[in-house]
Amino acid sequence: MTDINKTLNDAREAAAARPRSAVVTGAGSGIGRAVALALAEAGWSVTLAGRRPAALESTAALLTADAAGRVATAPTDVTDPDSVTALFAAALDRFGRVDLLFNNAGTFGPAVPPDELTYADWQSVVDVNLTGAFLCARAAFRAMKDQTPQGGRIVNNGSISAHAPRPHSLAYTTTKHAMTGLTKSLSLDGRPHRIACGQIDVGNAATELTARMRTGILQADGTTAAEPTMDAADVARTVLHMAELPLEANIQFATVLATTMPYIGRG
């Protein structure tokens, strides 16, 4: 074994041997819930964050007894800097470090034409999807930079809308394009501190947010059509793979989508 291979192998073994702690936002439902469950069942300690305490408790209740002992709930408003600070303080107090942030909290907003989108609705989407993601990433970056051993990983939940918009999705699509800029900047600024950042762009996972896709949603040609969806557990498996790479490796961008959804090609 060459010196470089031995060094990398030693780093992987050391990382695997120590407890790993994750913070998952939007963990009360959908993709956030699926990812939190996958991480906990794989041996991670997980802090579940979200606005609704009852939903977080419902997520925790789905865990096996062994995994449930590694999970804490932290009701959080990601748009509030003080609430985000409290979230990461709670995660550090309970588990000692933060190795992963799954930056997942998001909202779609009203599906209306641009001229009908109110300032309040625009601001609400930006506050959750973009400002909330920034606040959580900033707090995670601080924790990962200061802890020993230094480093960690941030995985941002983007969207197929980061590549191609849906009709009547101005605020959502704009914030998901901005998420890509957040991911790239965090990747660059994290290099000196062993902080990796990647993005997963999801298309048509079966969640509360996408329920209308199964009954009929507006298409680019003006028609309404049902669209295929996939199990959110398939997204969770991909995030778990990204999370468990050694910090010497990073999946910068991953796209996971329902195989036959109208995305590749002309519909």
Distance CA 170, CA 166 (A): 8
Q: Which of 157, 125, 123, 153 is nearest to 141 (CA)?
A: 153
* Paired tokens of 178: 């901005």
| Contact (Cβ atoms closer than 8 angstroms) between residue 212 and residue 225 | no
Q: Which residues contact 240 (CB under 8 A, 6 or more apart)?
A: 35, 38, 39, 42
The b-or-e profile of 18-55 (16+ CB within 10 A means b, else e) is eebbbbbbbbbbbbbbbbbbbbbbbebbbbbbbbeeeb
Distance CA 236, CA 233 (A): 5
- The edge-to-edge listing of strands for the beta sheet with 21-25 is 71-75, 45-50, 21-25, 100-103, 152-157, 195-203, 253-257
Give me the residue label for tokens 């609430």: 83
Q: Is 263 a catalytic residue?
A: no
Q: Compute the chain's Rg from CA coordinates.
A: 19
Distance CA 208, CA 229 (A): 12
Among the options 172, 195, 213, 247, which is catalytic?
A: 172
124: left (phi over 0), alpha (psi -120 to 50) or beta: alpha
Q: Which residues are the active-site residues?
A: 172
